[in-house]
């Protein structure tokens, strides 16, 4: 069984990439790549530009590092310094994604100011993995994430729409159930920030 949030998750009506995710919370964002990708890049950039270190687990293989580097350059920052503050993992299966979460050490928030998990469910839609196994792995990693969030580590999870016709579309609701808040960002362009954050030397 997953560890449910004590209260129903809040539906977010406004989303600010500078302040999400928030301390001790799991926030789930859902939508298309066009909606999620710019928001996540801006949030990662703003944290790294404030000299914050973050964990990034890329479960959907859709993060465009070149766009993140470009975002740093147009705002006057060195991309190499930005990437040095983001610890990347790219699991390709639900077993590997679960392993990434299971290997996190309690207290990781002392090194990371946030954990981003992009496309958490993408590999769980693989029907070569029996549903009972997929559910066991998913429930366990969600319970582990709840513990990390309770310890103070902010967690941001993104979910893409499930594949058409998949019998596993209900997994989305399973993830949202353990969240503190959820929402869908509007599609946006990745632009220069009017007042770049301070952080890099």
Task: Tell me the mean pLDDT in the region 44-66.
Answer: 91
- Residue 63 counted as domain residue: yes
Q: How far is 56 from 86, CA to CA, in rounded Å?
A: 7
CA-to-CA distance for 147 and 24, rounded, in angstroms? Answer: 9
Task: Provide the domain limits for residue 87.
Answer: 10-183
Q: Report yes or no on 1 lying in a domain.
A: no
- List pLDDT tens digits, range 119-166: 999 999 999 999 999 999 999 999 999 999 998 899 999 999 999 999
With respect to residue 97, please indicate whether it lies within any of the assigned structural domains: yes
In a domain, 60, yes or no: yes
- pLDDT of res. 196: 44
d(CA 13, CA 194): 23
Q: How many domains does the chain have?
A: 1
Q: Which two tokens stand for residue 59?
A: 């479960």
> What's the CATH code of the domain at 94?
3.40.50.300
Mean pLDDT, to the nearest integer, of 39-54? 91
What is the rounded distance in angstroms from the CA atom of residue 10 to the CA atom of residue 100?
27
Rg, C-alpha atoms of the chain? 16
In a domain, 3, yes or no: no
- Rounded (10°) CA dihedral 2, 3, 7, 12: -70
Q: Using CA atoms, how far apart are residues 13 and 184, in angstroms rounded to an integer?
A: 8
In a domain, 135, yes or no: yes
Structural domain includes residue 102 = yes
Q: pLDDT by residue (tens digit) across 105-124?
A: 766 656 899 999 999 999 99
Count the helix, strand and coil residues of the chain and give each as a percent rounded to the nearest 5: 35, 15, 50
CA distance 193 to 201: 18
| 5 found inside a domain | no
């Amino acid at each position: 069984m997953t560890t449910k949030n004590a209260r129903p998750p809040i539906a977010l009506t406004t989303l600010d990439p500078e302040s999400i995710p928030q301390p001790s919370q799991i926030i789930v964002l859902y939508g298309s790549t066009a909606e999620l990708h710019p928001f996540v890049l801006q949030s990662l950039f703003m944290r790294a530009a404030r000299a914050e270190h973050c964990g990034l687990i890329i479960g959907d293989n859709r993060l465009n590092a070149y766009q993140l580097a470009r975002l740093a350059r147009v705002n006057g920052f060195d991309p190499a310094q930005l990437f040095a503050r983001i610890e990347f993992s790219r699991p390709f299966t639900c077993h590997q994604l679960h392993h990434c979460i299971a290997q996190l050490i309690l207290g990781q928030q002392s090194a990371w100011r946030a954990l981003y998990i992009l496309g958490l469910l993408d590999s769980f839609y693989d029907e070569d993995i029996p549903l009972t196994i997929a559910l066991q792995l998913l429930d366990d990693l969600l319970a582990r994430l709840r513990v990390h969030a309770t310890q103070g580590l902010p967690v941001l999870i993104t979910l893409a729409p499930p594949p058409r016709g998949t019998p596993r579309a209900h997994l989305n609701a399973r993830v949202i159930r353990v969240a503190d808040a959820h929402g869908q960002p509007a599609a946006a362009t990745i632009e220069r920030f009017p007042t770049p954050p301070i952080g890099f030397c």
